[in-house]
Amino acid sequence: MVERIKARTLRKRVLKRIAFVDVKPVEAPRRIVQLVVKDPKLIEEVDKLDMQDLIEAEVERVGEDLVVKSLKVLFKNLEPFPIAKKEHGPDFLLRMRHLAIRGIRYPKIFYVEHVVTWSAIKHLVDEGRKRVHPPLIIASATEGGAILFPVDRFGERKFFLSESAQLYLEAMIFALGKVFSLTTSSRMEKSRTRRHLAEFRHLEAEAADYGFEDILDAQERLVKAIVRGVLEDEDASEIVKEFRGKRMDELDRLLKEKFPRITYDEAIEILRKKGVDIKRGDDLGADEERILTEDFEVPVFVTLYPTEQKAFYVKRVPDRPEVCYSADLMLPRYGEITTGGEREDDYYKLLEEIKRRGLKPEDYRRYLDLRKYGSIRHSGYGLGIERFVHRLLDLEHIRDATPFPRFYGRSTFV
């Protein structure tokens, strides 16, 4: 039976009586197919092919081989493809990212990212959440910090790129109850770690009538649903095995076991016993999170952070106001991938906290209105898609988890 295939060439081996061409089919660009060429005239045509030429071939399956019966070049490179077989430095590959993503490795990563995102959305919809679409330009910081990218909008007052959709999601729970969004968040932090981006895909969820324990359970269900979705997808599962090697047992354990929960105070004690110079009130940075989680075999929640470390909207623990209902979910030997908690639902307490932190109540008038006009207990969380993919595939750097990365220290973008 003769099949017709359109594909881009990756590499070739031309011998005297036979040629082999590795191609990526247009219909399945994450797969590599080897074509066998035996006709002398076609071998001459193969010898002229360049990497990334688009071809159309008629092939016949002979045993395990796909033997080429006819070959036509649909689009020939005008110049030799700039990304050759030799090793290229990371700076060159970033400049050529629009072409580098055609290679062998990136399509696999981005396919897994697709399955991660789709599994998350499907799970949230199945749980009864409604997807909403918050704006990406905001008037004031969600978390009250000066970490935002300013935007000149029609020459008006200063606006910013959103670092979180949360404040809008909190408004939407009064319309739809349980909601979520998948947006781009931007943060002007001068971080250059292997797990930081200045722009990332942010999956956020908020739910009315949800307390602190409810939102911890919801995050655990989400992470397990994502991993289950990836493992149930045949292609994604094979890619994960290829990238992780023999360490697939971690994912099986993640699905079966309950995620442990420790408090921030307990985390500090664990770190001190490990020789880390840290005291209560200090932030847990990337190094501390990695050290903290190295003895855990499944993701772990760190809960009840000091109030001063978290945003103004986080609800304080009534009998311990120095700590609040906030939690980070951390992956073993990696660190935080979600942050969530219960929101302050009392108008007067929220107003007092805004003032205490030196923020302007008028900047949060609409947010305060949510409490002034019929408040409700509610909680939410956010998950960074790139961080999840970064750790799931054990990638060297988080910028490999997104097609066109934006990060501190690079001002030239594709």
SS (H, E, C) 395-414: CCCHHHHCCCCCCCCCCCCC
| Residue 213: predicted pLDDT | 97
- Note the pLDDT tens digit of each residue in 39-58: 999 999 999 999 999 999 99
Query: Is 86:192 a contact under the CB 8 Å cutoff?
Result: no
| Residue 152: predicted pLDDT | 81
| Residue 174: predicted pLDDT | 97
| Residue 141: predicted pLDDT | 66
Low-confidence ranges of the chain (pLDDT < 70): 85-86, 141-146, 411, 414
| Residue 195: predicted pLDDT | 82
| 15 and 112 belong to one structural domain | no
What residues pair up with 25 in beta bridges, in sequence order? 7
Per the structure, how many domains does the chain have?
2
Indicate the burial class of 13 (C-beta count within 10 angstroms; 0-12, 13-18, 19 or more). exposed
In a domain, 389, yes or no: yes
| 8 and 139 belong to one structural domain | no
| 355 and 390 belong to one structural domain | yes
| Residue 28: predicted pLDDT | 81
| Residue 143: predicted pLDDT | 60
> Could you give the percent of the chain with pLDDT greater than 90?
79
| Residue 262: predicted pLDDT | 98
Nearest to 166 by CA among 132, 199, 211: 132
| 155 and 231 belong to one structural domain | yes
| Residue 230: predicted pLDDT | 98
In a domain, 91, yes or no: no
| 157 and 203 belong to one structural domain | yes
